[in-house]
């Protein structure tokens, strides 16, 4: 059982490191094109699949952060009918 726990911990560490890489790649200046956005979405999805089996809370927090990167940024364009720049 000790070997399985060691492998589990190693996989969690790999997932934490992978999430850090994907988070860096999720920056708006990197994901400008539709192809880059699709690649990011695929990476986040694959990470979520792997993270689902983890018991490490860091992995689940990073999964949430990654999923947030896929949500479109909202901005205010008008307040009470007046255009805001």
pLDDT-derived band of residue 60, with 50, 70 and 90 as boundaries? very high
Q: What is the rounded distance in angstroms from the CA atom of residue 18 to the CA atom of residue 51?
A: 11
Residue 70 and residue 44 in contact, taking contact as beta carbons nearer than 8 Å: yes
Is residue 85 over pLDDT 90?
A: no
Question: Residue 59: is its pLDDT beyond 90?
Answer: yes
* pLDDT higher than 70, residue 51: yes
The pLDDT of residue 77 is: 72
pLDDT at 39 over 90: yes
**Separation between Cα atoms, residue 66 and residue 60, nearest integer Å:** 10
């Amino acid at each position: 059982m000790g070997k399985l726990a060691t492998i589990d911990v190693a996989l969690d560490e790999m997932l934490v490191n992978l999430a850090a890489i994907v988070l860096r790649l999720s920056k708006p200046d990197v994901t400008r094109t539709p192809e880059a956005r699709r690649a990011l979405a695929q990476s986040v999805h694959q990470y979520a699949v792997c993270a689902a089996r983890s018991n490490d809370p860091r992995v689940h927090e990073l999964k949430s952060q990654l999923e947030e990167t896929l949500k479109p940024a909202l901005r205010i364009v008008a307040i009470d009918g007046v255009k805001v720049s």
